[in-house]
Amino acid sequence: MITRKDIANIAEERILIEKRSSFANTFDTMPCYGSTLEDIRIDIFKLTYLPAAIDEETLLANGREIKEQLASLKFYDLRADCPTNAAILMFGKNPRYFIPGAAVQYVRFMGEDVISDFEYEHRFDGDLTTQMKIMEEFIKSQIIKKVLHNIGEAHQYVYPLSAIKELLFNAIIHRDYQSNAAIKFYEFSDRIEISNGGGLYGKARPENFPRENDYRNPTLAEAAYNLGYVNRFNLGVQRATAALMKNGNPAPKFIYDDPNSFSVIIYKKTERG
């Protein structure tokens, strides 16, 4: 066994710190210092999230004040008296003010590389409770419904909805939000590439991916599950791969050898399937 003795770079130090802190607070549950209740949409929390996360009987019996309600779901730090990073991401009026990388940058290129002309771009930012719904509708209307041809009344799609949705939301949940770069959601003429800051985390390693999974942002993962955007069984990557293969797409390619980033390439379905 060869022992590495050179000095860790900043990104590697961050990975080490993350691993040492795996039994402490994760980034999403840490207090977002400088923020207040005025920085989050209480109406979204109460009207959209709470009914999805808490059963009706418990909601009716809940007499706690708003800070305690948020804190019970790890969206408020009572000791610091401010919302957590998860609250800013899920319900924030302007998440990028506190977390600059809290965005998904979509670009549709006309060719097969980033130097080709592009025909459309859009930045998804704002609270994730709203933005994940908008992204799902965008995938449905702008990406998967590109019909190759019809066979009777059956449509054939370039990409399956479940796979694109799963892999994009996976990037949102697992990314390192201490990186200032937005998630890249790039559509080329022959493929889609999704990449985010932050490599494999915790128990997930190159030798056991995708069989093993771990959560860099467990509160975000729980929120996405409660809202119905992802499953809870650590099978997202495997389910997305299966959906692509069933649709006739080639198997996706995952790039996870860089500790600073994680990427997936989703290949377009061809006329031959």
- 3-state SS of 17-54? HHHHCCCCCCHHHCECCCCCHHHECHHHHHHHHHHHHC
When pLDDT is cut at 50, 70 and 90, the band that residue 113 belongs to is very high
Q: Per-residue pLDDT tens for 216-227?
A: 899 999 999 999
When pLDDT is cut at 50, 70 and 90, the band that residue 207 belongs to is confident
User: Does residue 1 have a pLDDT over 80?
Assistant: no
Partners of 124 in the beta sheet? 104
pLDDT of residue 237: 86
pLDDT of residue 196: 94
Q: Where in the chain is the domain with CATH 3.30.565.60?
A: 104-267
Alpha helices in the chain (DSSP H): 10-20, 42-44, 50-53, 56-61, 66-72, 85-91, 95-98, 128-138, 161-174, 218-226, 236-247
Q: Per-residue pLDDT tens for 240-262?
A: 999 999 999 999 999 988 888 99
pLDDT of residue 11: 56
User: In the chain, what percentage of residues exceed pLDDT 90?
Assistant: 66
Token reading at 110: 């006309």
Average pLDDT over residues 110-130: 94
Q: Per-residue pLDDT tens for 143-191?
A: 986 665 555 555 678 999 999 999 999 999 999 999 999 999 999 999 9
Question: What's the whole-number average pLDDT of the chain?
Answer: 85
CB burial class (10 A; 0-12, 13-18, 19+) of residue 9?
exposed
Range in 4-18, 128-142, 187-201 the model is least confident about: 4-18
Partners of 255 in the beta sheet? 263
CA 167 – CA 244 distance, rounded (Å): 11
* pTM greater than the 0.95 cutoff: no
Structurally, at CATH architecture level, domain 104-267 sits in 2-Layer Sandwich (3.30)
When pLDDT is cut at 50, 70 and 90, the band that residue 64 belongs to is confident
